[in-house]
Amino acid sequence: MIDVINIRKDFSVLNTKIYGNPLIYLDNAATAQKPECVIQTVAELYRTANANIHRGVHFLSEQCTEKYEQAREKVRQFINAEKKSEIIFTSGTTGSINTVATSFGEQFVFEGDEIIVSEMEHHSNIVPWQMLCKRKNATIKIIPFDDKGVLRIDLLDSLINERTKIIAVTHASNVLGTINPVRQIIAKAHSYNIPVLVDGAQAVPHGNVDVCDLDCDFYTFSGHKIYAPTGIGVLYGKEKLLEQMPPYQGGGDMISTVTFEKTTYAQLPLKFEAGTLNFIDAIALGAAIDYINKTGRQNIIEYEHKLLDYATQKMSAVEGLKIYGEADEKVALVSFLLKDIHHLDTGMILDKKGIAVRTGTLCAEPLLTHFGKTGMVRASFVFYNTFDEIDILCENLKKISLMFK
Ligand code: PLP
Protein backbone atom coordinates (compact mmCIF):
# COMPACT_ATOMS: atom_id res chain seq x y z
CA MET A 1 0.00 0.00 0.00
CA ILE A 2 1.20 3.50 -0.79
CA ASP A 3 0.77 5.93 2.10
CA VAL A 4 0.74 8.96 -0.16
CA ILE A 5 0.31 11.53 2.64
CA ASN A 6 3.47 10.35 4.37
CA ILE A 7 5.35 9.82 1.12
CA ARG A 8 4.70 13.42 0.13
CA LYS A 9 6.45 14.56 3.33
CA ASP A 10 9.68 13.11 1.88
CA PHE A 11 9.48 15.45 -1.13
CA SER A 12 9.58 18.98 0.27
CA VAL A 13 9.43 20.58 -3.19
CA LEU A 14 5.81 19.40 -3.39
CA ASN A 15 4.95 22.07 -0.79
CA THR A 16 6.01 24.82 -3.17
CA LYS A 17 3.39 27.39 -4.18
CA ILE A 18 3.24 28.43 -7.85
CA TYR A 19 1.49 31.78 -8.42
CA GLY A 20 -0.19 31.22 -5.05
CA ASN A 21 -1.43 27.71 -5.94
CA PRO A 22 -0.10 24.46 -4.50
CA LEU A 23 2.28 22.85 -6.97
CA ILE A 24 0.78 19.90 -8.85
CA TYR A 25 3.81 18.30 -10.41
CA LEU A 26 2.83 16.20 -13.43
CA ASP A 27 6.12 16.39 -15.33
CA ASN A 28 7.62 13.29 -13.77
CA ALA A 29 8.47 11.63 -17.09
CA ALA A 30 10.86 14.54 -17.74
CA THR A 31 12.41 14.35 -14.30
CA ALA A 32 11.19 13.13 -10.92
CA GLN A 33 11.48 15.02 -7.64
CA LYS A 34 14.03 13.92 -5.04
CA PRO A 35 13.23 12.53 -1.60
CA GLU A 36 14.97 13.99 1.42
CA CYS A 37 17.18 10.90 1.84
CA VAL A 38 18.70 11.45 -1.63
CA ILE A 39 19.25 15.17 -0.99
CA GLN A 40 20.79 14.33 2.40
CA THR A 41 23.08 11.72 0.87
CA VAL A 42 24.51 14.26 -1.57
CA ALA A 43 24.83 17.00 1.06
CA GLU A 44 26.42 14.69 3.65
CA LEU A 45 28.93 13.29 1.20
CA TYR A 46 30.09 16.77 0.24
CA ARG A 47 30.17 17.83 3.89
CA THR A 48 31.98 14.85 5.30
CA ALA A 49 33.46 12.44 2.80
CA ASN A 50 34.20 13.96 -0.60
CA ALA A 51 37.34 12.51 -2.21
CA ASN A 52 38.06 11.19 -5.69
CA ILE A 53 37.47 7.48 -6.09
CA HIS A 54 39.71 4.60 -7.19
CA ARG A 55 42.94 6.61 -7.16
CA GLY A 56 43.70 7.31 -3.53
CA VAL A 57 45.03 5.25 -0.67
CA HIS A 58 43.78 7.75 1.87
CA PHE A 59 40.76 7.16 4.08
CA LEU A 60 38.18 9.37 2.37
CA SER A 61 39.08 8.17 -1.11
CA GLU A 62 38.73 4.57 -0.03
CA GLN A 63 35.45 5.35 1.71
CA CYS A 64 33.99 7.00 -1.41
CA THR A 65 35.26 4.16 -3.60
CA GLU A 66 33.57 1.64 -1.34
CA LYS A 67 30.27 3.52 -1.40
CA TYR A 68 30.49 3.93 -5.17
CA GLU A 69 31.03 0.21 -5.66
CA GLN A 70 28.20 -0.53 -3.21
CA ALA A 71 25.95 1.67 -5.37
CA ARG A 72 26.95 -0.39 -8.39
CA GLU A 73 25.93 -3.53 -6.51
CA LYS A 74 22.57 -1.91 -5.64
CA VAL A 75 21.99 -1.16 -9.33
CA ARG A 76 22.96 -4.74 -10.21
CA GLN A 77 20.38 -6.12 -7.82
CA PHE A 78 17.79 -3.51 -8.87
CA ILE A 79 17.79 -4.72 -12.49
CA ASN A 80 18.91 -8.27 -11.67
CA ALA A 81 22.09 -8.23 -13.75
CA GLU A 82 24.26 -11.29 -13.38
CA LYS A 83 27.53 -9.47 -12.70
CA LYS A 84 28.62 -6.14 -11.22
CA SER A 85 31.08 -5.77 -14.10
CA GLU A 86 28.07 -5.42 -16.42
CA ILE A 87 26.92 -2.22 -14.71
CA ILE A 88 28.52 0.93 -16.13
CA PHE A 89 27.83 4.35 -14.68
CA THR A 90 27.17 7.01 -17.32
CA SER A 91 25.68 10.50 -17.39
CA GLY A 92 22.19 9.14 -18.18
CA THR A 93 20.22 7.26 -20.81
CA THR A 94 21.59 9.55 -23.52
CA GLY A 95 25.16 8.91 -22.36
CA SER A 96 24.51 5.16 -22.26
CA ILE A 97 23.04 4.98 -25.77
CA ASN A 98 25.83 7.13 -27.20
CA THR A 99 28.36 4.80 -25.55
CA VAL A 100 26.84 1.77 -27.27
CA ALA A 101 26.22 3.49 -30.62
CA THR A 102 29.84 4.68 -30.73
CA SER A 103 31.64 1.70 -29.26
CA PHE A 104 29.49 -1.16 -30.56
CA GLY A 105 29.19 0.76 -33.84
CA GLU A 106 32.96 1.13 -34.14
CA GLN A 107 33.46 -2.61 -33.72
CA PHE A 108 30.49 -4.16 -35.48
CA VAL A 109 28.81 -1.74 -37.94
CA PHE A 110 30.16 -1.25 -41.45
CA GLU A 111 29.14 0.13 -44.84
CA GLY A 112 25.80 -1.26 -46.03
CA ASP A 113 24.78 -2.49 -42.57
CA GLU A 114 21.40 -1.75 -41.05
CA ILE A 115 20.15 -0.71 -37.61
CA ILE A 116 16.53 -1.07 -36.58
CA VAL A 117 14.84 1.42 -34.25
CA SER A 118 11.14 2.07 -33.71
CA GLU A 119 8.94 4.94 -34.80
CA MET A 120 8.20 5.76 -31.15
CA GLU A 121 11.77 6.42 -30.00
CA HIS A 122 12.93 9.40 -27.99
CA HIS A 123 15.48 11.44 -29.96
CA SER A 124 18.15 9.91 -27.69
CA ASN A 125 17.53 6.55 -29.29
CA ILE A 126 17.47 7.88 -32.84
CA VAL A 127 20.17 10.52 -33.24
CA PRO A 128 23.18 8.53 -31.90
CA TRP A 129 22.32 5.77 -34.40
CA GLN A 130 21.91 8.30 -37.21
CA MET A 131 25.33 9.75 -36.37
CA LEU A 132 26.80 6.25 -36.45
CA CYS A 133 25.12 5.49 -39.77
CA LYS A 134 26.52 8.70 -41.24
CA ARG A 135 30.05 7.77 -40.11
CA LYS A 136 29.78 4.20 -41.35
CA ASN A 137 27.54 4.57 -44.40
CA ALA A 138 24.92 2.37 -42.81
CA THR A 139 21.13 2.83 -42.77
CA ILE A 140 18.32 2.95 -40.24
CA LYS A 141 15.12 0.95 -40.60
CA ILE A 142 11.97 1.70 -38.66
CA ILE A 143 9.44 -0.51 -36.85
CA PRO A 144 6.19 1.46 -37.20
CA PHE A 145 3.36 1.66 -34.65
CA ASP A 146 -0.38 1.69 -35.25
CA ASP A 147 -2.77 4.54 -34.40
CA LYS A 148 -3.40 3.15 -30.92
CA GLY A 149 0.32 3.40 -30.25
CA VAL A 150 1.08 -0.32 -30.45
CA LEU A 151 4.33 -1.37 -32.09
CA ARG A 152 3.89 -3.44 -35.28
CA ILE A 153 6.20 -6.23 -34.23
CA ASP A 154 4.46 -8.44 -36.77
CA LEU A 155 6.62 -6.54 -39.29
CA LEU A 156 9.90 -7.37 -37.56
CA ASP A 157 10.67 -10.41 -39.72
CA SER A 158 10.34 -8.31 -42.86
CA LEU A 159 12.71 -5.65 -41.49
CA ILE A 160 15.48 -8.01 -40.35
CA ASN A 161 18.04 -9.33 -42.78
CA GLU A 162 21.67 -10.48 -42.77
CA ARG A 163 22.85 -6.83 -42.70
CA THR A 164 20.95 -6.01 -39.48
CA LYS A 165 23.53 -5.31 -36.76
CA ILE A 166 21.44 -4.20 -33.78
CA ILE A 167 17.87 -3.41 -32.78
CA ALA A 168 17.39 -0.43 -30.43
CA VAL A 169 13.94 -0.06 -28.98
CA THR A 170 12.28 1.70 -26.08
CA HIS A 171 10.81 -0.36 -23.25
CA ALA A 172 8.12 2.28 -22.64
CA SER A 173 7.28 5.26 -24.83
CA ASN A 174 7.70 8.69 -23.23
CA VAL A 175 4.77 10.00 -25.31
CA LEU A 176 2.34 7.12 -25.79
CA GLY A 177 3.11 5.37 -22.53
CA THR A 178 3.07 2.07 -24.43
CA ILE A 179 4.98 -0.73 -22.75
CA ASN A 180 6.53 -2.62 -25.62
CA PRO A 181 6.84 -6.42 -25.66
CA VAL A 182 10.62 -6.19 -25.50
CA ARG A 183 11.01 -9.78 -24.31
CA GLN A 184 9.35 -10.95 -27.52
CA ILE A 185 11.39 -8.54 -29.66
CA ILE A 186 14.60 -9.77 -28.03
CA ALA A 187 13.69 -13.44 -28.53
CA LYS A 188 12.95 -12.76 -32.19
CA ALA A 189 16.18 -10.77 -32.69
CA HIS A 190 18.23 -13.46 -30.98
CA SER A 191 16.77 -16.08 -33.30
CA TYR A 192 18.64 -14.14 -36.01
CA ASN A 193 21.69 -13.60 -33.75
CA ILE A 194 21.05 -9.87 -33.52
CA PRO A 195 21.68 -8.03 -30.23
CA VAL A 196 19.08 -5.66 -28.75
CA LEU A 197 19.48 -2.41 -26.83
CA VAL A 198 16.50 -1.48 -24.67
CA ASP A 199 15.95 2.16 -23.69
CA GLY A 200 14.52 1.81 -20.21
CA ALA A 201 14.31 5.52 -19.32
CA GLN A 202 10.52 5.40 -18.92
CA ALA A 203 10.15 1.78 -17.86
CA VAL A 204 12.48 1.63 -14.86
CA PRO A 205 10.59 4.34 -12.91
CA HIS A 206 7.31 2.43 -13.20
CA GLY A 207 8.05 -1.24 -12.90
CA ASN A 208 10.31 -4.17 -12.21
CA VAL A 209 13.05 -4.63 -14.74
CA ASP A 210 14.93 -7.90 -14.89
CA VAL A 211 17.64 -7.83 -17.54
CA CYS A 212 18.33 -11.55 -17.17
CA ASP A 213 14.69 -12.42 -17.72
CA LEU A 214 14.47 -10.04 -20.70
CA ASP A 215 17.78 -11.42 -21.99
CA CYS A 216 18.55 -7.98 -23.46
CA ASP A 217 22.10 -7.25 -24.58
CA PHE A 218 22.09 -3.61 -23.42
CA TYR A 219 19.71 -1.78 -21.10
CA THR A 220 19.88 1.95 -20.37
CA PHE A 221 18.25 4.29 -17.86
CA SER A 222 18.64 7.64 -16.11
CA GLY A 223 18.98 8.27 -12.38
CA HIS A 224 17.05 11.54 -12.38
CA LYS A 225 13.85 9.82 -13.50
CA ILE A 226 14.02 7.44 -10.52
CA TYR A 227 14.40 10.09 -7.78
CA ALA A 228 18.22 10.28 -7.96
CA PRO A 229 20.22 13.39 -8.94
CA THR A 230 20.71 14.50 -12.52
CA GLY A 231 23.87 13.60 -14.38
CA ILE A 232 24.02 9.93 -13.42
CA GLY A 233 22.72 6.97 -15.35
CA VAL A 234 23.33 3.33 -16.11
CA LEU A 235 24.38 1.22 -19.02
CA TYR A 236 23.89 -2.48 -18.52
CA GLY A 237 25.64 -4.64 -21.10
CA LYS A 238 26.28 -8.34 -21.37
CA GLU A 239 29.88 -8.96 -20.40
CA LYS A 240 30.58 -10.98 -23.53
CA LEU A 241 29.65 -8.01 -25.74
CA LEU A 242 31.20 -5.26 -23.60
CA GLU A 243 34.49 -7.14 -23.68
CA GLN A 244 34.54 -7.13 -27.45
CA MET A 245 33.81 -3.40 -27.64
CA PRO A 246 36.52 -0.70 -27.59
CA PRO A 247 36.41 1.97 -24.87
CA TYR A 248 34.08 4.89 -25.58
CA GLN A 249 36.35 7.56 -24.15
CA GLY A 250 40.00 7.58 -23.12
CA GLY A 251 41.39 9.03 -19.91
CA GLY A 252 42.11 8.24 -16.29
CA ASP A 253 40.64 5.18 -14.60
CA MET A 254 39.89 3.31 -17.84
CA ILE A 255 43.48 2.20 -18.37
CA SER A 256 45.65 -0.59 -17.09
CA THR A 257 49.03 0.76 -18.25
CA VAL A 258 50.04 3.69 -20.44
CA THR A 259 53.21 4.26 -22.40
CA PHE A 260 53.62 6.52 -25.41
CA GLU A 261 53.89 3.40 -27.52
CA LYS A 262 50.92 1.45 -26.21
CA THR A 263 48.06 1.63 -23.74
CA THR A 264 46.19 -1.28 -22.26
CA TYR A 265 42.72 -0.91 -20.87
CA ALA A 266 41.19 -1.62 -17.49
CA GLN A 267 38.84 -4.54 -16.92
CA LEU A 268 35.08 -4.01 -17.03
CA PRO A 269 33.33 -1.92 -15.93
CA LEU A 270 36.10 0.69 -15.57
CA LYS A 271 37.05 0.33 -19.23
CA PHE A 272 33.90 2.37 -19.93
CA GLU A 273 34.26 4.83 -17.05
CA ALA A 274 36.93 7.29 -18.20
CA GLY A 275 37.84 10.26 -16.03
CA THR A 276 36.29 11.38 -12.78
CA LEU A 277 32.79 10.02 -12.89
CA ASN A 278 29.86 11.60 -11.11
CA PHE A 279 30.58 9.41 -8.10
CA ILE A 280 28.64 11.43 -5.51
CA ASP A 281 25.47 11.16 -7.59
CA ALA A 282 26.12 7.47 -8.28
CA ILE A 283 26.14 6.93 -4.52
CA ALA A 284 22.93 8.98 -4.28
CA LEU A 285 21.43 6.78 -7.01
CA GLY A 286 22.03 3.93 -4.58
CA ALA A 287 20.09 5.91 -1.95
CA ALA A 288 17.23 6.44 -4.43
CA ILE A 289 17.14 2.70 -5.11
CA ASP A 290 16.98 2.06 -1.35
CA TYR A 291 14.05 4.50 -1.17
CA ILE A 292 12.20 2.75 -4.02
CA ASN A 293 12.81 -0.66 -2.44
CA LYS A 294 11.60 0.62 0.94
CA THR A 295 8.44 2.03 -0.68
CA GLY A 296 7.97 -1.31 -2.41
CA ARG A 297 8.18 -1.78 -6.14
CA GLN A 298 4.95 -3.76 -6.27
CA ASN A 299 3.18 -1.05 -4.24
CA ILE A 300 4.44 1.56 -6.69
CA ILE A 301 3.30 -0.45 -9.72
CA GLU A 302 -0.19 -1.00 -8.30
CA TYR A 303 -0.70 2.59 -7.15
CA GLU A 304 0.54 4.11 -10.40
CA HIS A 305 -1.75 1.77 -12.37
CA LYS A 306 -4.69 3.12 -10.41
CA LEU A 307 -3.57 6.69 -11.05
CA LEU A 308 -3.28 5.95 -14.77
CA ASP A 309 -6.71 4.32 -14.98
CA TYR A 310 -8.30 7.19 -13.05
CA ALA A 311 -6.56 9.87 -15.13
CA THR A 312 -7.46 8.14 -18.41
CA GLN A 313 -11.10 7.86 -17.43
CA LYS A 314 -11.41 11.43 -16.09
CA MET A 315 -9.44 13.06 -18.88
CA SER A 316 -11.39 11.19 -21.58
CA ALA A 317 -14.54 12.79 -20.17
CA VAL A 318 -13.24 16.32 -20.83
CA GLU A 319 -15.00 17.66 -23.90
CA GLY A 320 -12.73 17.83 -26.93
CA LEU A 321 -9.78 16.07 -25.27
CA LYS A 322 -8.00 13.45 -27.36
CA ILE A 323 -5.54 11.05 -25.80
CA TYR A 324 -2.62 9.79 -27.88
CA GLY A 325 -1.56 6.30 -26.83
CA GLU A 326 -4.25 3.72 -26.16
CA ALA A 327 -2.23 0.54 -25.77
CA ASP A 328 -3.48 -1.98 -23.22
CA GLU A 329 -0.17 -1.90 -21.37
CA LYS A 330 0.95 1.62 -20.47
CA VAL A 331 3.11 3.42 -17.92
CA ALA A 332 1.47 6.21 -15.95
CA LEU A 333 1.44 9.04 -18.44
CA VAL A 334 -1.17 10.59 -20.69
CA SER A 335 -0.34 12.68 -23.77
CA PHE A 336 -3.20 14.67 -25.19
CA LEU A 337 -4.50 17.64 -27.14
CA LEU A 338 -7.54 19.68 -26.26
CA LYS A 339 -9.71 20.56 -29.29
CA ASP A 340 -7.45 22.54 -31.63
CA ILE A 341 -5.99 24.55 -28.77
CA HIS A 342 -2.24 24.99 -29.13
CA HIS A 343 -0.32 22.74 -26.73
CA LEU A 344 1.63 25.74 -25.40
CA ASP A 345 -1.60 27.59 -24.54
CA THR A 346 -2.88 24.61 -22.58
CA GLY A 347 0.46 24.21 -20.80
CA MET A 348 0.77 27.90 -19.96
CA ILE A 349 -2.76 28.19 -18.58
CA LEU A 350 -2.26 25.09 -16.45
CA ASP A 351 1.02 26.55 -15.20
CA LYS A 352 -0.81 29.62 -13.92
CA LYS A 353 -2.85 27.21 -11.78
CA GLY A 354 0.31 25.59 -10.42
CA ILE A 355 0.02 22.52 -12.63
CA ALA A 356 3.30 21.49 -14.27
CA VAL A 357 2.89 19.47 -17.45
CA ARG A 358 5.20 19.03 -20.43
CA THR A 359 4.40 20.54 -23.83
CA GLY A 360 6.06 20.51 -27.24
CA THR A 361 7.64 17.76 -29.29
CA LEU A 362 8.35 15.69 -26.16
CA CYS A 363 11.72 14.85 -27.79
CA ALA A 364 9.97 12.50 -30.21
CA GLU A 365 9.34 14.39 -33.42
CA PRO A 366 8.95 11.31 -35.66
CA LEU A 367 6.32 9.97 -33.25
CA LEU A 368 4.38 13.23 -33.40
CA THR A 369 4.67 13.31 -37.18
CA HIS A 370 2.85 9.95 -37.23
CA PHE A 371 -0.20 11.82 -35.91
CA GLY A 372 0.46 14.93 -38.03
CA LYS A 373 1.19 16.97 -34.88
CA THR A 374 3.99 19.35 -33.97
CA GLY A 375 3.33 19.32 -30.24
CA MET A 376 1.32 17.67 -27.48
CA VAL A 377 0.68 18.07 -23.77
CA ARG A 378 1.80 15.32 -21.40
CA ALA A 379 0.76 14.67 -17.82
CA SER A 380 2.89 12.02 -16.14
CA PHE A 381 2.28 10.51 -12.72
CA VAL A 382 4.29 8.79 -10.02
CA PHE A 383 3.53 7.47 -6.55
CA TYR A 384 3.58 10.88 -4.81
CA ASN A 385 0.75 12.14 -7.04
CA THR A 386 -2.82 11.94 -5.81
CA PHE A 387 -6.27 11.34 -7.23
CA ASP A 388 -7.21 14.86 -6.04
CA GLU A 389 -4.46 16.30 -8.21
CA ILE A 390 -5.95 14.52 -11.22
CA ASP A 391 -9.37 15.99 -10.35
CA ILE A 392 -7.87 19.50 -10.24
CA LEU A 393 -6.10 18.89 -13.56
CA CYS A 394 -9.38 17.80 -15.17
CA GLU A 395 -11.37 20.72 -13.73
CA ASN A 396 -8.84 23.10 -15.26
CA LEU A 397 -8.85 21.26 -18.57
CA LYS A 398 -12.64 21.62 -18.67
CA LYS A 399 -12.30 25.36 -18.06
CA ILE A 400 -9.69 25.69 -20.81
CA SER A 401 -11.94 23.72 -23.17
CA LEU A 402 -14.78 26.20 -22.46
CA MET A 403 -12.47 29.22 -22.87
CA PHE A 404 -11.74 28.17 -26.47
CA LYS A 405 -15.28 27.33 -27.59
N1 PLP B 1 14.67 7.79 -23.67
C2 PLP B 1 13.44 8.06 -23.22
C3 PLP B 1 12.32 7.12 -23.53
C4 PLP B 1 13.21 9.21 -22.45
O5 PLP B 1 11.98 9.48 -22.02
C6 PLP B 1 14.31 10.07 -22.18
C7 PLP B 1 14.09 11.31 -21.43
O8 PLP B 1 13.02 11.84 -21.33
C9 PLP B 1 15.56 9.73 -22.66
C10 PLP B 1 15.71 8.59 -23.40
C11 PLP B 1 16.75 10.59 -22.39
O12 PLP B 1 17.04 10.60 -21.04
P13 PLP B 1 18.18 11.57 -20.46
O14 PLP B 1 17.86 12.92 -20.97
O15 PLP B 1 18.05 11.42 -19.00
O16 PLP B 1 19.48 11.06 -20.98
Average pLDDT, 10 consecutive residues per value, the chain (405 residues) = 97 98 98 98 97 91 96 98 98 98 98 98 98 98 98 98 98 98 98 98 97 98 98 98 97 94 96 96 98 98 98 97 98 97 98 98 98 98 98 98 88
Amino acid, res. 300: I
Residues 268, 86 contacting (CB under 8 angstroms): yes
Question: How many whole angstroms from 115 Cα to the centroid of ligand 1?
Answer: 20
Please tell me the distance from the alpha carbon of residue 167 to that of residue 160, in angstroms, as a whole number. 9
Amino acid, res. 329: E
Q: Which atom of ligand 1 is nearest to the CA of 224?
A: 15
Q: Which atom of ligand 1 is nearest to the CA of 91?
A: 16
Please tell me the distance from the alpha carbon of residue 278 to that of residue 50, in angstroms, as a whole number. 12
Residues 36, 10 contacting (CB under 8 angstroms): yes
Residues forming beta bridges with residue 360, ordered by sequence position: 376
- Does residue 202 have its Cβ closer than 6 Å to ligand 1? yes
C-beta atoms surrounding 271 within 10 Å? 22
**Protein residue with least CA distance to atom 6, ligand 1:** 201
List all residues 6 or more positions away from 26 whose beta carbon is below 8 Å from its beta carbon: 355, 356, 357, 379, 380, 381, 385, 389, 393
**363 catalytic, yes or no?**
yes
Please tell me the distance from the alpha carbon of residue 217 to that of residue 53, in angstroms, as a whole number. 28
Residues forming beta bridges with residue 335, ordered by sequence position: 324, 378
Question: How many whole angstroms from 95 Cα to the centroid of ligand 1?
Answer: 10
Question: How many whole angstroms from 264 Cα to the centroid of ligand 1?
Answer: 33
Q: Which atom of ligand 1 is nearest to the CA of 172?
A: 3
Q: Which atom of ligand 1 is nearest to the CA of 230?
A: 15
Question: How many whole angstroms from 322 Cα to the centroid of ligand 1?
Answer: 24
> What number of CA atoms fall less than 13 Å from residue 372's CA on the CB side?
2
- Does residue 92 have its Cβ closer than 6 Å to ligand 1? yes
pLDDT of residue 383: 98
pLDDT of residue 56: 81
> What number of CA atoms fall less than 13 Å from residue 193's CA on the CB side?
3
H helix intervals, 142-255: 156-159, 182-191, 211-214, 239-244
Residues forming beta bridges with residue 376, ordered by sequence position: 360
C-beta atoms surrounding 367 within 10 Å? 28
Top mutation candidate among 31, 121, 124 for ligand 1, by most atoms within 8 Å of CB: 124
Top mutation candidate among 27, 31, 94, 219 for ligand 1, by most atoms within 8 Å of CB: 94
Structural domains for the chain: 4-28+296-403 (3.90.1150.10), 49-293 (3.40.640.10)
pLDDT of residue 19: 97
- Does residue 122 have its Cβ closer than 6 Å to ligand 1? yes
Using only C-alpha atoms, the chain has a radius of gyration, in whole angstroms, of 22
pLDDT of residue 405: 73
Question: How many whole angstroms from 215 Cα to the centroid of ligand 1?
Answer: 22
pLDDT of residue 251: 95
Please tell me the distance from the alpha carbon of residue 345 to that of residue 339, in angstroms, as a whole number. 12
What's the whole-model pTM score? Answer: 0.98
Please tell me the distance from the alpha carbon of residue 137 to that of residue 310, in angstroms, as a whole number. 48
Q: Which atom of ligand 1 is nearest to the CA of 93?
A: 16
Top mutation candidate among 89, 90, 121, 122 for ligand 1, by most atoms within 8 Å of CB: 122
Catalytic residue among 64, 133, 216, 363: 363
How many DSSP H helices and E strands does the chain contain?
A: 14, 17
- Does residue 91 have its Cβ closer than 6 Å to ligand 1? no
Question: How many whole angstroms from 97 Cα to the centroid of ligand 1?
Answer: 10
- Does residue 170 have its Cβ closer than 6 Å to ligand 1? yes
- Does residue 124 have its Cβ closer than 6 Å to ligand 1? yes
Residues forming beta bridges with residue 233, ordered by sequence position: 90, 222
Please tell me the distance from the alpha carbon of residue 70 to that of residue 62, in angstroms, as a whole number. 12
Top mutation candidate among 99, 117, 174 for ligand 1, by most atoms within 8 Å of CB: 174
